[in-house]
């Protein structure tokens, strides 16, 4: 015991000696032993935490020592996913430092505080806290700037501001190197992959996850390896690669167990349970989910407790236990912070609508689903489209600057030609060479610009899965068609189309088959519609068709013909037992009303079609209120 006490006193004395010998104004890295412990916290956070707890400095120690001690504690708790503990120690570290005396250390602590706030479900507040640190680091410290960009990218991802997140991560990736003891390219690759995963672009995420995993295996970075394997497993599960996903998630869990990352184990268990639900292993799924819930409860991790409760609701749907589903959904709502969890809120409302429907509260289910759809539209419009336009504008500015540089080079060549008349041959060679270079540069710039614009237009306007117009562009085309019909006094019809019982197809055959159904549906309509007609995807299994210069009867006939062709989809995709039918709300534009009222009428007509048994077309009145002009499609 005396030996342990002496060792502790010696360690504290060493800490104080190091701290007193450092000048706060010139501090640019953590003192030892905190620098070594911070590196240990990156890969073995539990070991770092144990070491920190064993040698806690005295409260009378130098403030710089105390600030660094509590900062590294915060980082260890953050890596172990204990958000409240991480926030508590970051805020405590701030009390021992100041912006005027120790700006580098102050901003390093502020970055850790922002990450802890994000992990606690307060991402909006975290963004406010970190912005000043990003700007300071940009001017004063390249390594801290790299870390601040990476951290802010994480916060942007949580806020679903994916374009801003990609901007920060891509810039950080360009500044990073392959040194595993610092924030390396492999770390940033994992976060780039997560952004694409959250955007439901799982195929794009996989190369980044694989890059990160290869580097982490090589460097034996077990914590980061576990996290990257977890992300790759989720991506493969979404793509229908269930066997591969399960193996990757099991390896993630086992790797987390090796380093005592208990929450890492819980994350993997939650995803494995979702796979077990797909495999109809309901008892195993419930066991794993409850085990994960207990771990997240100990860590006070509200976001993951919310996610686990939704998985338990889904499990209860599978076992037809609606009372249990209601209880789990009530628990999920207790963990939901709508202000800071926008995508979680949309997911909650969708599950709530599903439960209301199963409880036969159809009107409430419909209203809740409409609310979720509106929220999704708002998030998508605010956080995606606008920023994609900003990105395009920024590129066009850069392109103009490049063209100005080319012109400047050309002017310089011309001045060189005028200033020297003695060496005509040499001048001619130089002028020709530089002119050729300028032309080649301009040609490359123009070609890259055209290719980029085409790629950007496709990204902004086209739905990736079906190849049809996405919701935003479909609505834009609808507005243009209505303006044209009004101006030229022409006919125009609008049809809101919903695939009947599509969720059952996903549940029974898997999302991979569901995706094939959606693509085949898109193919049938693209092939069957006239060149002047438009079809776009505006929701999961919901589509919008615009019939130019067609009255209600003509549009009705076209839809009836196409609905007959849809019955062959099951055989086409190799699933003959699948019967694809559609419900349609059809409205004829009569040069009155707005885009919103026209859509509302079509949507209401679609609701009637679905409520009356589906597999039918309902035509709305000229007053934009649906009437009972229905057509039961042949079985």
Rounded-to-integer distance, Cα 369 and Cα 603, Å? 13
Rounded-to-integer distance, Cα 98 and Cα 629, Å? 73
| Residue 468 CB coordination number (10 Å) | 24
Encoded tokens for 47: 């070991």
> 3-class DSSP state for residue 547?
strand
- Within 13 A of 403's CA, how many CA atoms are on the CB side? 12
Rounded-to-integer distance, Cα 413 and Cα 435, Å? 8
Q: How far is CA 498 from CA 87, 170, 467, 495, in A?
A: 46, 39, 17, 10
Rounded-to-integer distance, Cα 206 and Cα 231, Å? 9
Rounded-to-integer distance, Cα 189 and Cα 211, Å? 7
Tell me the angle at which helices 511-528 and 502-509 cross, rounded to the nearest 10 degrees. 140
Encoded tokens for 474: 């479909």
Rounded-to-integer distance, Cα 578 and Cα 374, Å? 31
| Residue 526 CB coordination number (10 Å) | 13
Secondary structure in 3-state letters for 383-401: HHHHHHHHHHHHHHHHHHH
Rounded-to-integer distance, Cα 586 and Cα 606, Å? 8
Region class of 151: left (phi > 0), else alpha (psi between -120 and 50), else beta: alpha
Q: Is the previous residue joined to 33 through a cis bond, with omega within 30 degrees of 0?
A: yes
Residues with Cβ < 8 Å from 405, sequence gap 6 or more? none
271 neighbors 285 (Cβ within 8 angstroms): no
- DSSP for 255-292, please give it: HHHHTT-HHHHHHHHHHHHHHHHHTT-HHHHHHHHHHH
Rounded-to-integer distance, Cα 51 and Cα 40, Å? 10
Alpha-carbon torsion angle 460, 461, 466, 471, nearest 10: 100
537 forms beta bridges with 543
Catalogue the active-site residues. Answer: 541
190 neighbors 176 (Cβ within 8 angstroms): no
Residue bearing tokens 């199963």: 358
């Amino acid at each position: 015991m005396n030996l342990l006490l002496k060792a502790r006193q010696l360690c504290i004395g060493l800490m104080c000696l190091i701290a007193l010998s450092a000048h706060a104004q010139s501090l640019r890295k953590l003192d030892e032993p905190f620098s070594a412990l911070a590196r240990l916290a990156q890969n073995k956070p539990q070991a770092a935490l144990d070491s920190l707890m064993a040698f806690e400095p005295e409260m009378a120690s130098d403030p710089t020592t105390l600030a660094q001690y509590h900062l590294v504690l915060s980082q260890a708790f953050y890596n172990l996913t204990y958000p409240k503990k991480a926030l508590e120690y970051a805020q405590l570290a701030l009390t021992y430092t100041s912006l005027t005396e120790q700006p580098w250390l102050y901003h390093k602590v502020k970055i850790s505080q922002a990450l802890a706030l994000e992990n606690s479900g307060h991402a909006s507040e975290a963004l406010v806290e970190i912005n000043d640190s990003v700007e300071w680091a940009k001017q004063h410290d390249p390594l801290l700037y790299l870390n601040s960009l990476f951290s802010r990218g994480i916060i942007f991802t949580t806020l679903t501001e994916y374009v801003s997140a990609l901007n920060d991560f891509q810039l950080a990736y360009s500044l990073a190197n392959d040194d595993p003891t610092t924030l390396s390219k492999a770390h940033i690759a994992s976060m780039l992959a997560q952004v694409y995963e959250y955007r439901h672009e799982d195929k794009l995420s996989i190369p980044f996850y694989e890059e990160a995993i290869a580097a982490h295996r090589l460097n034996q970075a077990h914590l980061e390896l576990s996290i990257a394997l977890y992300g790759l497993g989720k991506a493969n599960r979404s793509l229908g690669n269930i066997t591969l996903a399960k193996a990757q998630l099991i390896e993630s869990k086992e790797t987390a167990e090796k380093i005592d990352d208990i929450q890492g184990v819980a994350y993997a268990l939650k995803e494995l349970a979702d796979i077990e639900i797909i495999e109809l292993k309901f008892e195993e799924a419930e066991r794993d989910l409850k085990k994960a819930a207990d771990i997240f409860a100990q860590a006070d991790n509200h976001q993951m407790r919310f996610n686990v409760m939704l998985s338990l609701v889904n499990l209860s749907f599978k076992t037809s236990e609606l009372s249990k589903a209601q209880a789990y959904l009530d628990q999920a709502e207790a963990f939901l912070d709508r202000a800071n969890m926008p995508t979680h809120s949309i997911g909650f409302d969708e599950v709530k609508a599903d439960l209301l429907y199963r409880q036969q509260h159809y009107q409430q289910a419909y209203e809740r689903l409409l609310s979720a759809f509106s929220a999704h539209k708002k998030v998508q419009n605010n956080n995606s489209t606008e920023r994609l336009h900003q990105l395009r504008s920024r590129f066009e500015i850069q392109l103009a600057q490049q063209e100005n540089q080319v012109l400047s080079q050309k002017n310089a060549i011309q001045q060189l030609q005028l200033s020297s008349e003695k060496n005509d041959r040499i001048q001619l060679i130089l002028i020709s060479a530089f002119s050729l270079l300028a032309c080649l540069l301009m040609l490359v710039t123009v070609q890259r610009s055209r290719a980029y614009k085409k790629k950007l237009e496709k990204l902004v306007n086209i739905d990736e899965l079906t190849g049809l117009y996405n919701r935003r562009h479909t609505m834009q085309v609808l507005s243009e068609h209505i303006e044209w019909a009004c101006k030229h006094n022409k006919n125009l019809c609008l049809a809101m189309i919903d695939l009947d019982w599509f969720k059952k197809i996903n549940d029974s055959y898997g999302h991979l088959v569901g995706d094939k159904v959606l693509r085949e549906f898109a193919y049938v309509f693209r092939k069957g519609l006239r060149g002047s007609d438009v079809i776009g995807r505006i929701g999961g299994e919901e589509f919008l068709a615009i019939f130019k210069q067609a009255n209600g009867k003509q549009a009705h006939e076209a839809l009836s013909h196409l609905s007959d062709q849809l019955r062959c989809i099951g055989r086409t995709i190799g699933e003959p037992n699948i019967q694809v039918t559609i419900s349609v709300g059809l409205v004829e534009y009569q040069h009155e009303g707005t885009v919103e009222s026209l859509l509302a009428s079509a949507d209401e007509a679609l609701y009637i079609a679905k409520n009356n048994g589906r597999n039918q077309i309902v035509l709305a009145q000229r007053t934009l209120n649906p009437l009972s002009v229905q057509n039961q499609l042949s079985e």
